[in-house]
Chain A
Amino acid sequence: MKHIFIKTIAKMFKIIPVILYMLVSLLCGFMLANTYRNYVKTNYATFNGLTSTLISTLTMIIFLIICGLLLITLVVMVGSGLFAGEEMDGTMRLLVAKPVSRFEIVIGKIAGLLCGSFIYLVSSIGLMMTIFVMLSTVDGEVMKIIVGYIPGYLLFGMILIFIFSALSCLLSLLFKKRIPTMIILLFVMVALFGMIPILRLFLKSGGSYDQYHMYLFDINYHIGLIFYQCMSLCGGMILSSSQMSNIGTFLGIYSFRKLDYDIISSSFQTNDYVLNQYLNGNSLLLIYLLIAVGCYLLCYLRMKKKDIVT
Chain B
Amino acid sequence: MSEIIIETKQLHKQFGSFTAVNQLDLELESGKIHGFIGPNGAGKTTTMSLLMGMIYPTKGTAFIKGHPIGSVPAKKLLGYSPEFPSFYSDMSCLEYMMYMGNLGQLTYQESFDKTIELIELMNLKEHLHKKVSKFSTGMKKKIGLAQAMIHDPEILLLDEPTANLDPTSRFEMIELMRKLVTERNLTVLISSHVLSELEMIIDNVTIINHGTLILSDRIENVQRMFSQGKIIVKTSNQELLVNHLKEKFSAIDIDLLEEELQISSSNPQIIKNQIIKFVYQNDLLLDYLYEQKVSLDSLYKEVIINKEKEGINQ
A83-110 with Cβ < 8 A to chain B? 89-91, 93-101
Please report the C-alpha to C-alpha distance between residue A308 and residue B82 in the assembled complex, in whole angstroms.
Answer: 13
Q: Does B215 interact with chain A (Cβ within 8 Å)?
A: no
Q: Decide yes or no whether A7 CB sits under 8 A from chain B.
A: yes
* Minimum C-beta distance from A156 to chain B (A): 32
Establish whether residues A94 and B147, one from each chain, have CB atoms under 8 Å apart when the complex forms.
yes
Cβ-defined contact, A96 with B84, below 8 A? no
Cβ-defined partner of A97 (8 Å) among B80, B87, B90: B80
Q: In the assembly, what is the distance between CA of A11 and CA of B90, in Å?
A: 9
Chain B residues in 8 Å Cβ range of A98: 75, 100, 103-104, 151
Residues of B within 8 A of A96 (CB): 52-54
CA distance A6 to B59 in the complex (A): 37
Q: Are A307 and B56 interface neighbours, CB within 8 A? A: yes
Q: Tell me if B55 is interfacial: C-beta within 8 Å of chain A.
A: yes
Which residues on A sit within 8 Å (CB–CB) of B65?
A: none
* Complex CA–CA separation, A3 to B45 (angstroms): 28
The A167-206 residues at the B interface (CB cut-off 8 A) are none
A98 to B49, CA, bound (A): 12
Residues on A with C-beta less than 8 A from B87 are 91
Contacts of A16 in B (CB 8 A): none
A99/B99 in contact, CB under 8 A? no
B150 to chain A: closest residue by CB: A98
Residues of chain A within 8 A of B100, CB atoms compared: 94, 98
* Distance to closest chain A CB from B146 (angstroms): 13
Q: B residues within 8 A CB of A97?
A: 52-54, 75, 78, 80
Interface residues on B, range: 20 to 34
Name the contact of B55 in the complex, choosing from A91, A94, A100, A309 (C-beta under 8 A): A309
How near does chain A come to B308, taking the closest CB pair, in angstroms?
A: 25
In Å, the complex CA distance between A307 and B45 comes to: 13
Known pairs A3-B99, A96-B53; A101 contacts B80 (CB<8 A) = no
CB of B164 within 8 A of chain A? no
Decide yes or no whether A305 CB sits under 8 A from chain B.
yes
Which single member of A3, A94, A305 contacts B86 (CB below 8 Å)?
A94
Residues of B within 8 A of A211 (CB): none
Chain A residues with CB below 8 A from B102, complex form: 3
A310: CB under 8 A from chain B? yes
Q: How far is the CA of A3 from the CA of B95 in the complex (A)?
A: 12
Instruction: Judge whether B276 is part of the interface by a CB distance below 8 angstroms.
Output: no
Report chain A residues within 8 Å CB of B105: 99
Chain A contacts of B82 at CB under 8 A?
A: 90, 93, 310
Binding site for B on A (CB under 8 A): 3-4, 7, 11, 14, 89-91, 93-101, 305, 307-310
Known A-B contacts: A97-B80, A308-B49. Give 15 more (CB < 8 A).
A89-B88, A90-B86, A94-B103, A97-B52, A97-B54, A99-B72, A99-B104, A99-B151, A100-B75, A100-B103, A307-B54, A308-B54, A309-B49, A309-B54, A309-B55
Chain B contact residues, CB within 8 Å of chain A: 45, 49, 52-56, 72-73, 75-76, 78, 80, 82, 84, 86-90, 99-100, 102-105, 147, 151
Instruction: Report 28 cross-chain contacts, Cβ distance below 8 Å, ordered by A residue.
Output: A3-B102, A11-B90, A14-B90, A89-B86, A90-B86, A91-B86, A91-B87, A94-B147, A96-B52, A96-B53, A97-B75, A97-B80, A98-B75, A98-B103, A98-B151, A99-B72, A99-B104, A99-B151, A100-B103, A305-B56, A307-B54, A307-B55, A307-B56, A308-B49, A308-B54, A309-B49, A309-B55, A310-B45
Top 8 closest pairs, chain A to chain B, by CB: A90-B86, A307-B55, A98-B103, A99-B76, A3-B102, A99-B75, A97-B80, A308-B54
